[in-house]
Amino acid sequence: MADEVLNAEGLNCPLPILRAKKALKGLTAGQVLEVRATDPGSVADFAAFCNQTGNELLSSTSEGNIYKFEIKRA
């Protein structure tokens, strides 16, 4: 269960990552952010973002053209 949900649908790179970065700053360590995006490039972008920032990508799923990511703040 996410502590916060970020709707980044309709936004293209790099906006979903930038908005997620801002949202994660508002969370405390261990809290989970769910991001919903429609940009297919966001799959690779969020994996790289979590790898570089130390945040944990808990899940990456898709439902039709909507990609959902659950990110646990480091």
Q: Which residue has the tokens 């990511």?
A: 69
Is residue 43 exposed (0-12), middle (13-18) or buried (19+ Cβ within 10 Å)? middle
Q: Identify any residues that bridge with 71 across adjacent strands, giving them in sequence order.
A: 33, 57
- The residue annotated as part of the active site, out of 13, 15, 27, 43, is 13
- Active-site residue 13, yes or no? yes
Q: Which of the residues are catalytic?
A: 13
